[in-house]
Structure 1
Amino acid sequence: MAAGGFSIKRLGRVRDLVERLVGDGFVPGAMVVLGRRGQVHVEASGFLAYEGAGAGVPMAGDTIFRTGSMTKPLVAACAMVLVEECTLRLDDPVDELLPELAGMRVLADPGGPLAETVPARRPITLRDLLVFTLGTGMVLAEPGTVPIADALGAVRAPSLDEWLGQVGALPLVHQPGERWMYETGADMTGALIARATGRPFGQVLRERIAEPLGLKDTGFSVDADRLGRFATAYDRDDARTVADAPDGRFSAPPVFEDCGGGLVSTADDYLAFASALLAGGNGVLSRAAVSLMTTDHLTPAQKAVSGFGPGYFDNQGWGFGMSVITRRTRLGPSVGSYGWPGFWGTAWYNDPAEDLSAIVVMQRAHMGDQNLPLWNDVWTSIYQAIDD
């Protein structure tokens, strides 16, 4: 048995899977990091890129990667720090700090004309932002078929204030608290934090989360002296086509900090954050705050009408900025596990029942979708290695 309660032989299956992803040309590099009982196991293969300088740099714990939607749990944790400081309250209306969301109108028909609205039955709260029940968010529809989808898709973010003004000028899709809607709640949470503190969200995240936990490479951009550790991201449909190079989108601080998916980090950094939550907050948050973040807050009625498709919430719920496993249906995270994947082929889950933090890193667009067959193999390989 390996340290941390893993089988040395069975960890070989994790290594084989990572090497296969690289050997088959799916990605130039991949990595699985497992933290359990104070021990860390890293299975890494390949390099940061197919070509260029990154082609000679191995994937490692200090490789900088795009976290995608793994940004959301960090945003929620930062909000909870401010709740503990009594700077914010979960059930206070956000109207005072985000007046753009005051007095909202709601579509009479979610698929109907934007001009046909009714008043919102109640204000939006911070809890709504964290649980993604504020009434607006991602609307999946073919262009030209659903007016609100087209309108939300046309919103641009030249600055925080302008983004808030554009979103606030549109009606809500549903009444606050009625159903879960993805994405926008995270950006609104970051906006609320920025307004409450009078500083950019990234600065608050650095002071409240990153510095206390020693997260050295987590932020919204990559400095020039760290670009050599930044993995190249590739296209969904062609593994050799570059979707974002190290000197691309993240090479300069953004004007609008994307709190839904704009952070970069390393496995070392993200494991430190994950381990802090698994340990009950590690002094950055209280055990009570971590428990609240990682509890399923969706009601059966909300789950019945929410998600990316029928039955989406049959086996999971939603805490603050992350999913919570409510039923175990495969060889994977236990009931009560929490975490979230990312657009670029990343994923993280904490499993308190197994005292496990698991982080998976690739950099290929759209590959964080947990319905892809490869993720069944990833989680099967990880969980079959536990041997105590």
Structure 2
Amino acid sequence: MSTLREVLQTHVRDGSVPGAVALVARGDQVDVRAAGSTDADGSAPMAPDSVFRIASLTKPITAAAAMMLVEDGRIALDDPVTPWLPELASPMVVRTPESPVDDVVPAARPLTVLDLLTSRAGYGFPSDFSLPAVGPLFSELKQGPPQPQAVAAPDAWMAKLSRIPLLHQPGEAWLYNTCSDILGVLIARASGQSLPEFLAERLFEPLGMSDTGFAVPARKLDRFTSYYRAGEAGGFDVVDAPDGQWSSVPDFPSAAGGLVSTAGDWYAFGRMLLAGGTVGDHALLTPASVRQMTTDHLTPGQRKASALFTEGQGWGFGGSVDVERTAPWNVPGRYGWVGGTGTTAHIVPSSGTVAIMLTQVEMAGPQPPRTMRDFWSHVARR
């Protein structure tokens, strides 16, 4: 059986990634390894505490923050979002998913907090990006690969969102990404704090996630990895350098994909979930909230309609949940997600496992690359 280090080194040697960090923990046994370099030039070795853009591994953290507000009594799952997001008081829906953006009907019911947590509010990416109502998500809201400095501030962003019709009626379909960003605005408005302030106070500081945030301070740039996409002629093209878009907190802190973090920090978050929401003697969440987060909420039809759920997954709050064993790494109840910047993390409650792999090469499409699949297989065999 290959060791964790060998799994990483295989992909560094074959040129799939310049470097990677992985962590696999079961109970008190933690194996963390680093391989390769933080950049394609090989000038700085990768280290266990290297900092990565974790992209959509932000989503489970956002969901946990929302559940804290539910437990505080500031919001409820069945609440309409209108008191905090008045821009969405009267949403319109395209008559059919293929309809032009001006062929609309009123939403059949108000959007709720639960709609946002389960990504079924009607906003987001379907399998077909060519649908007319999907275009404004890219052009107006700057959805897609994270580009934090290009996105408007929350109030302006919500004003733009209010002019974009829903693709489906609330509750009908699972759509990717946008609901998490809307949820981030709701968290800020309901808490009376900015999203970075709320996450720092309620999650990052109690969990000791000292390297997690929406920007990397200058004193930590030597640990910040470069971000690449695979070049058409081989090698890697730079998407963002360490002193680039994450060098300052953006106007719009993306709750869908804006965080930077380390393997150790995300492990602290995953370990909290495995412990039923507790850290030592301090409860951040109740076990009931964690169960809601890590339980599939989709119908079979909603799972089948998404190109992202081809290997037995459903969706909880902010992350996927394995519901069928259709691949070697599937374990019913496994909860986590992947990030488009080349990251993956999950927990397995049945075995007390937290597994994280961070790379800095953008995913080429919705299906996970071989680096992730090999890592998942390694975790499943341990």
| Alignment deviations for residues 55-91 of structure 1 (CA, whole Å, 9 cap, x no partner) | 4433222111010100100000000111111111111
TM-score (norm 2): 0.92
Q: Name the residue aligned to 1:164.
A: 158
Gaps of at least 5 residues in structure 1 are: 1-9
User: Do the aligned partners of 2:11 and 2:371 also contact (CA within 8 Å) in 1?
Assistant: no
Pair 1:205 & 2:199 matched: yes
Pairing 1:127–2:117 present: no
Instruction: Please give the secondary structure, in 1, of the residue aligned with 2:35.
Output: strand
Residues 187-233 of structure 1 deviation map (CA, whole Å, 9 limit, x = unaligned): 01101011112221111011111011110010000000000000111
From the superposition, tell whether residues 134 and 93 of structure 1 become closer, same or farther in structure 2 (CA, over 3 Å): same
Cα deviations by residue, 1:244-291 (Å, 9 ceiling, x for unpaired): 110011011101111111100011100000111011111111111101
Q: Secondary structure at the match of 1:235?
A: strand
Note the alpha carbon deviations across 1:24-76, whole angstroms, 9 max, x for none: 2222211220111112101221121133xxx4433222111010100100000
Q: Distance in 1 between matches of 2:227 and 2:92?
A: 40
Tell me the number of residue pairs that the alignment of Structure 1 and Structure 2 aligns.
367
Q: Residue type matched to 1:272 in 2?
A: A
Change (3 A) 1:273 1:132: same
1:4 counterpart residue number: none
> How is 1:1-388 mapped onto 2 (pairs within 5 angstroms)?
10=1, 12-51=2-41, 55-141=42-128, 146-156=131-141, 157-237=151-231, 238-282=234-278, 283-304=283-304, 306-308=305-307, 312=309, 315-366=312-363, 369-384=366-381, 386=382
For residues 138-177 of structure 1, give each alpha carbon's deviation from its aligned partner in whole angstroms, at most 9, with x where no partner exists. 24546xx532122222214321011111111111111000
Identity %: 42
Residues in 1 aligned to 2:200 and 2:220: alpha-carbon distance in whole angstroms: 17
237-246 vs 89-98, which deviates more? 237-246
- 1:187 counterpart letter in structure 2: D
Distance apart, 1:17 and its partner CA? 1.9
SS in 2 for 1:171: coil
Q: Distance in 2 between matches of 1:340 and 1:206?
A: 22
Q: Tell me by how many angstroms 1:313 deviates.
A: 5.6
The answer on whether the counterparts of 2:55 and 2:258 sit within 8 Å (CA) in structure 1 is yes
Q: Letter of the 2:307 partner, please give it.
A: F
Cα distance between partner residues in 1 of 2:235 and 2:63: 32
- Cα offset, 1:320, TM superposition: 0.3
Question: 1:345–1:367: 8 Å Cα contact kept in structure 2?
Answer: no
Deviation at 1:110, TM superposition (A): 1.3
Kindly indicate whether the alpha-carbon contact (under 8 Å) linking 1:111 and 1:146 is maintained by their aligned counterparts in 2: yes
Structure 1 residues 358, 333: closer, same or farther in 2, change over 3 A? farther
- Cα distance in 2 for partners of 1:160, 1:363 equals 28
Q: Distance in 2 between matches of 1:243 and 1:313?
A: 28
Q: CA RMSD in A?
A: 1.7
Q: In the aligned structure 2, how far is the partner of 1:154 from the partner of 1:369?
A: 20
> Is the Cα–Cα contact under 8 Å of residues 333 and 349 in structure 1 kept in the other structure?
no
Structure 1 counterpart SS, 2:239? strand
Distance in 1 between the 2:96 and 2:328 partners? 41
Structure-2 separation of matches of 1:136 and 1:86 = 26
- Give the letter aligned to residue 22 of structure 1: V
Output the CA distance in 2 between the equivalents of 1:69 and 1:272. Answer: 17
On the 8 A contact 1:345/1:368 being kept in 2, the answer is: no
| Preserved contact between residue 130 and residue 320 of structure 1 (Cα < 8 Å) | yes
Q: Which amino acid aligns with 1:239?
A: G
Residues 1:302 and 1:265: Cα distance change in structure 2 (over 3 Å): same
Partner in structure 1 of residue 147 of structure 2: none
Give 5+ residue unaligned stretches, structure 2: 142-150
2:8–2:34: 8 Å Cα contact kept in structure 1? yes
In structure 2, give the amino acid aligned to 1:244.
D
**One-letter code aligned to 1:217:** D
Moved more, 42-51 or 198-207: 42-51
Contact 1:271/1:359 (8 A) holds in 2: yes
| C-alpha distance in structure 2 between counterparts of 1:28 and 1:41, whole Å | 21
Q: What's the TM-score, normalizing by structure 1?
A: 0.90
What one-letter code is carried by the residue in structure 1 that aligns with 2:87?
Answer: E
Whether the aligned pair in 2 keeps the contact of 1:18 and 1:44 (CA below 8 Å) is: yes
